[in-house]
Structure 1
Amino acid sequence: MNFPARIDVHHHIVPPVWAETLASRGLDSGGWPIPAWSPRSAIAMLDRQGIATGVMSVTSPGVHLGDDAAARALARSVNEYGAEVVKDHPGRFGHFASIPLPDVDAAVAEAVHALDVLGADGVVLMSNAHGKYLGDADFEPLWAELDRRAANVFVHPAQPPMTLLPGTPAPLADYVFDTTRTALDMVLNGVMDRYRAVRVILSHGGGFLPYAAYRFSGLAPTVVNRERKADDILRDLKRFYFDTALSASPSALPSLLAFAEPGHILYGSDWPFAPQETGTYYNQFLETYPDFTPGQAAAVDRGNAEALFPRLAR
């Protein structure tokens, strides 16, 4: 691998206005503290981990903290900040814009502004918006708008609308559960079938979706929707893209490689929320994994992302 080469599609930005807003409300990310972040520290991490470009996104709880008007203002401030970071550091950063779901009208307007005016590389959606999952019929106008633009959509997990396990922050267990839950919701409600131009990236190897996909596709036609065949559901599950953040492990990576379509696995770090030593472990596993097919490792590191983000292609 030429250094630096990777495109990191799961790189978090911590805009000052967002961090200050969370702190003022006593909020964090599902029990996980909000770390410090700066363009300088981010670039230093990119260089250490062999990453050419980090595509930035705000993590859970996103920008809608309960008030529609405040969410609209926070989304615009966060997105303008991200666009400036990209502008100031050409080639080192990309940007997924935050949008204020569940306020659908505002979410559509902010997505259009971010993509058309700010030049965002896509949008980031939390896996649920105050308990409403991404297959909800109310979100159809947003999916239709994103589909018209063939947009990249990065789905990041959020705390599910239920009590956490005692003493267990949401990122430890519930985030992988909520990613799987919203992906299945999107498929069973036809989002992935109706909007085929949109490219949806699931965090953390898709939660446990690759491991359980054949269970979902086999059971769903008999207990949920008898009009859809198992092959149709499996096809839509395979339309997702997946990042490797916290998922390039001896058990998860083989399952992901066995399930994902060619070109659908992308490198992800989850920095700065994932500890540096954790990122080093997963990178070493990716770099020494013996069962990649010829060219597959380079595609995961960079080539597959270049297809989704042509402006980052060399």
Structure 2
Amino acid sequence: MQRIDVHCHAVAPGYRQYAIANGHERPDGMPALPAWSPEQHIALMEKLNIDKSILSITSPGTHLAPSPGDDDAARMTRRANVELSEICRSHPAHFAFFASLPLPDVEGSVAEIDHALDVLGAVGFAVLSNANGVYLGDEALGPVFAKLNARRAVVFIHPTTCNLLGDDGQVQPAKPLAGYPRPMMEFMFDETRAVANLLLSGTVARYPDITYIMSHCGCALPSLLDRIGGFAAITGGAANQGEELRRLLRERFYFDLAGFPFPNQIHGLLRILGEGGEEKLVYGTDYPFTPEKVAVTLSDQLEKGCEELFDDEQRHAVYSGNAQRLFGFPSKS
């Protein structure tokens, strides 16, 4: 069964040089920036029956040297987006891309949205759970979300290290269990934090024409949603918001299956989504940060798990049909 990979990454030469120059040769506590080339990626796609991969820049993103008034982030974000667009133009049958934004630079991000869509041909935007300590849903980012809403954009949310923003404007990465790479556990909590803030701040409701993709099978959100929605009763606020939050997730979010959704994690997400929840699932490999050998093993696990949960039509929707509908990609027989 053919697939569309909405969660995969490129580590192109220009971005690799930029990341290493800014001290991210071992991003987020991982052993190294992985090797990557279009040819290596296409070889994996052929092995896993992937028709199209939507490339993106992952954590730590493109705003790597934050300082007041520094426009280097906007320049480097533009360069990274151009680099991805050139890869896609060279391999149009295989690749599309999510553009990066130089968040929390509001002016630079608003300018990049139109350029990425109208000039570079991006199919949406990849944003990190926090940008140098400013979390998605922060009121300071309102103009960015207003612009994304006006463009009816698809926003792919990817986790990153929890960054603490001090009163002096300095950013300090949080490493509560420093002996483990942050993607193992902390990423899951950070994206959950960001999506909860998007929901609770009213951002999702206020900008109804943005479609979100939450990565890694909803991270820890399904397990915490009842607590998040019901906590208002404890603090003396409004009534339980749980059902409204569930409605917004069902209507406005897709969830990729990169990582380890099987055998257990998927069930919590499907309980949240309810009947027809498979229509909100999309396929992802997280390659190359998930190495090829592991990606193949996870693909086998996903295949087995999906066969137990879904019929042929539902599996087709999960593997490719939902992404075709979301991005307007042509259907392949």
Maintained 8 Å contact 1:221/1:230: no
In the alignment, the residues of structure 1 paired with residue 197 and residue 54 of structure 2 have an alpha-carbon distance, to the nearest angstrom, of: 26
> 1:9 matched to which residue of 2?
6
> 1:270 matched to which residue of 2?
286
Distance 1:225 1:202, change over 3 A: farther
**Could you tell me which of 163, 168, 178 is aligned with 2:175?**
163
Once the two structures are overlaid, the 10-residue window that deviates more, 156-165 or 170-179, is 156-165
> 1:258 matched to which residue of 2?
271
Q: CA deviation at 1:136?
A: 0.1
Maintained 8 Å contact 1:97/1:114: yes
Aligned 1:62-141 pairs, distance under 5 A: 62-65=61-64, 66-67=66-67, 68-141=70-143
In the alignment, the residues of structure 2 paired with residue 298 and residue 216 of structure 1 have an alpha-carbon distance, to the nearest angstrom, of: 33
Secondary structure at the counterpart of residue 30 of structure 1? helix
Q: CA deviation at 1:197?
A: 1.1
Q: CA deviation at 1:167?
A: 1.0
Q: Structure 2 unaligned runs (5+)?
A: 164-173
> 1:300 matched to which residue of 2?
318
Corresponding letter in the other structure for 1:311: F
Q: TM-score, normalized by length of structure 2?
A: 0.89
Maintained 8 Å contact 1:220/1:230: no
How big is each residue's C-alpha offset from its partner over 1:185-221, in whole Å with a ceiling of 9 and x where there is no partner?
A: 0000011111111111111112111222222222245
Maintained 8 Å contact 2:231/2:240: no
Aligned 1:214-229 pairs, distance under 5 A: 214-220=226-232, 222-223=234-235, 225-226=237-238, 229=241
Q: CA deviation at 1:309?
A: 0.8
State whether structure 2 residue 18 is matched by structure 1 residue 18: no
**Matched residues, percent identical?**
39
How big is each residue's C-alpha offset from its partner over 1:274-303, in whole Å with a ceiling of 9 and x where there is no partner?
A: 122322222112222212145221111000
In the alignment, the residues of structure 2 paired with residue 107 and residue 197 of structure 1 have an alpha-carbon distance, to the nearest angstrom, of: 18
> 2:168 matched to which residue of 1?
none
> 1:188 matched to which residue of 2?
200
Once the two structures are overlaid, the 10-residue window that deviates more, 217-226 or 116-125, is 217-226
Secondary structure at the counterpart of residue 279 of structure 2? coil
In the alignment, the residues of structure 2 paired with residue 312 and residue 86 of structure 1 have an alpha-carbon distance, to the nearest angstrom, of: 17
Once the two structures are overlaid, the 10-residue window that deviates more, 261-270 or 120-129, is 261-270
Maintained 8 Å contact 1:29/1:59: no
How big is each residue's C-alpha offset from its partner over 1:107-142, in whole Å with a ceiling of 9 and x where there is no partner?
A: 110111101111100011010011111010011111
Corresponding letter in the other structure for 2:205: D
In the alignment, the residues of structure 1 paired with residue 237 and residue 58 of structure 2 have an alpha-carbon distance, to the nearest angstrom, of: 33
Q: CA deviation at 1:104?
A: 0.5
Aligned length: 311
Corresponding letter in the other structure for 1:17: G
In the alignment, the residues of structure 1 paired with residue 111 and residue 241 of structure 2 have an alpha-carbon distance, to the nearest angstrom, of: 36
**Could you tell me which of 184, 190, 201 is aligned with 1:172?**
184
Distance 1:224 1:285, change over 3 A: farther
Q: TM-score, normalized by length of structure 1?
A: 0.94
In the alignment, the residues of structure 2 paired with residue 258 and residue 192 of structure 1 have an alpha-carbon distance, to the nearest angstrom, of: 21
